Structures are given as structure tokens and as C-alpha cells.
Amino acid sequence: MERELDHSPKVPESAHPGRWWHAIEDERIQCDLCPRDCKLHDGQRGACFVRQNLGGQMVLTTYGRSSGFCIDPIEKKPLNHFYPGSSILSFGTAGCNLACKFCQNWDISKSKDMDRLLDAATPEGIAAAAVAYGAQSVAFTYNDPVIFAEYAIDTALACHERGVRTVAVTAGYIHPEPAREFYAVLDAANVDLKAFTDDFYFKLCGGHLQPVLDILAYIHHQTKCWLEITTLLIPGKNDSAGEIQALADWVARELGPEVPLHFTAFHPDWKMSDLPPTPPATLTQARRIAIDAGLHYVYTGNVHDSEGGTTFCPSCQAALIERDWYNIRHYDLPADGRCPHCGTLIAGHFTRFGKPFGARRVPVRLERR
């Protein structure tokens, strides 16, 4: 059961009314946002660190606060079938509701130092900044936007009022009820499918696989949100041919052949710095397995691999969008998304192609409003 936040003097000015919670025994509250179902005493924070029981009510401590803003290429999310070549204003906050030992953004997602959040911005300010910088979309990224869902939803609504699209880069670890509201305001999402065993999720992420599979199916079949999937291949942990085969078969069977799948290279980080980087041959093998499983659009990432970065027509095999990492080298797809060689409709969202944004990363500061 949700409750209105009581604006008493004990509530810090930075706290924002949280949603998706209910009161339980012993004067505790339970967070209903994600499958962790954190049960919190007064003053206690959830596993994500940013959702807190304050006086018997849930608050979000990072609403309106960011770890920074950058203009990125859309390909960096990665999204290869959502307005290729366009720019996107990216930002995150702090904290995460998973505990991945291999986190590539651990300095943000694992941070419990709220002083890292130096940039303040209202949802309306973010939308205005996207327009001012010529970014066609805004991305909620760097840490998982599920944990700042209230802020992300309000920002998405403000962006849509200005004609700006919204994107989430997320692990998809969220309960069905908040997911309905979250994905209803998103134009696209890249969801990390971190592995295809529950053992991996439990031991290396502190979560479970099935809730993520359920959300992937929900997004694809019951929303208008464009979906792409990324799996970071970690040597010896989730890169066996058998596991990749099972993952690809599930995507083909449950989602269909037109959902793009990205296999990306791991680099040693956070609590798994003792492992080697992913060999390029592992990515190439994974891509071949997924294509043989019937998937039409399979990519490699975090490596220079022209073939693995190229969008091919699934019917005539023409190279329609050739990429080198985040750079588009060749573009041969009309605005209607049909292959100019055979007329096959390519899955995704496309428009008239101009000059691509390229591989630049442009840090920006928002004016405080």
C-alpha cells in the first residue's frame, strides 16, 4: 500500500516521496520496487542505498541529483536499431539494486558517497538541456535507473513534452507493477542479461535470473518500448558455448528473431580484477552461435570488429550499417527502414540519416534552475 509523504520538518529537503512500498510489522516498511523486497526500519536504507525509510515512509534520496551529464553516441548504450548515428544526453545518479562483482561502473553504482552527486537538475531542466545541446534522446544510465524510477519517470514525461525521446540502460531487476509505469514512458531500453544461469546471478550479482527473463518478455510483448539486449561475456563465468546456446535459444523462442543481441567484452574491474579480458574469438563464437540459433541481429561490442558491428539485411545479407565500435563507416538504409536491395523491413526505429554524431563523449554541465 502506498502512502503520501508527510512533509514534516524531519524530512530532509533532498528527500523525495518514494513509491512502491507498504508498511509491515515492527514499524518497518517493505520496498516493492524490485525483487530484493528490502524490509527497512526507520532510518535504514535499502540494498540500493538510495531508498530509505524516513519516519515510516519511503523516500528517494537522489531525486534531482546526478553524478554527471555527457553527450554520447546512441551506439554507446548500446542501441544499434534506435535512430543510429544520433546523439543522446546521458546521466545517472548513485547506487544499484544488484551487487555485480564485475561492475564496469562500480565507482558510481557502488558509491555510498552522496557528495559524488555534484550536478543538480530538475526533470524540466534535463529536457531543456537535451534540446539546447541538440540531443535527440535522454538516457538514464551509468547506474541502474530502476532505483531512481520516480526521477526517471518524471524526466521522461518532461522530455516527451519537448519532443525528446527517452532510453534506459538497465539490468531489468524490477517488480511488475512499477515496471508497467517505468516502461510506459520509455522509448527504448537496453537490458543487461548478465548470464543464463541462476547460479551466476545469485553468486556474482546477488539476484536471480527469472525476474529478468520475465521483464524482457514483458517489455517486448506488452509495451511500445524498443528493446535490445546486452550480455557481457566474462571468461570462465558465463562464456561457455552451452550457456550462450541456451541464452540465444531462449531469446529466439520467447522474444523472436528480431530483438538485437549484443555480446560485449569484459575488462577486469571492481572485485574481479584477477580475470583476463574477453578474447575477441569468444565474442565471434558467441555471435555465430546466436545467428545459427535464428537471431537476425547479433553484435559484438567493446572491441574493434567490423563484421560484428555491422547491421546486415537478414534476407539478402547486404551490409546496411557498417560500424567500427561507435563510429558509423557506411549507412545504406532509407528512412522507411527497408533494405534498398531486397525491400526487407529491418526491425527498429530509423529516420533520414545525416552526419553521425561519432564516437565523441562530451561532458556538459546543466544550469541550476
Query: How far apart, in whole angstroms, are the C-alpha atoms of residue 14 and residue 251?
Result: 41
Q: What is the dihedral of CA 22, 24, 28, 32, to 10 degrees?
A: -30
Which three three-digit cell numbers place residue 52?
530509505
Query: How far apart, in whole angstroms, are the C-alpha atoms of residue 106 and residue 111?
Result: 7
The pair phi, psi for residue 326, each rounded to 5°, is -95, 0
Any binding-site annotation on 96? yes
The pair phi, psi for residue 218, each rounded to 5°, is -65, -50
| DSSP at 74 | G
Facing residues of 55 across strands? none
Facing residues of 322 across strands? 330
The answer to whether the Cα torsion of 247, 248, 254, 260 is positive or negative is positive
Query: How far apart, in whole angstroms, are the C-alpha atoms of residue 218 and residue 210?
Result: 12
Query: How far apart, in whole angstroms, are the C-alpha atoms of residue 234 and residue 275?
Result: 8
The pair phi, psi for residue 167, each rounded to 5°, is -135, 140
Which three three-digit cell numbers place residue 162?
519537448
Q: Mind giving me the DSSP string for 146-164?
A: GGGHHHHHHHHHHHHHTT-
Any binding-site annotation on 103? yes
Location of C-alpha cell 525476474: 211
Three-state secondary-structure class, residue 122: coil
What's the N-to-C CA distance of the chain in angstroms?
Answer: 34
Query: How far apart, in whole angstroms, are the C-alpha atoms of residue 276 and residue 234?
Result: 9
Any binding-site annotation on 339? no
Which residues participate in the annotated binding site for [4Fe-4S] cluster? 96, 100, 103
Output the known binding site: 96, 100, 103
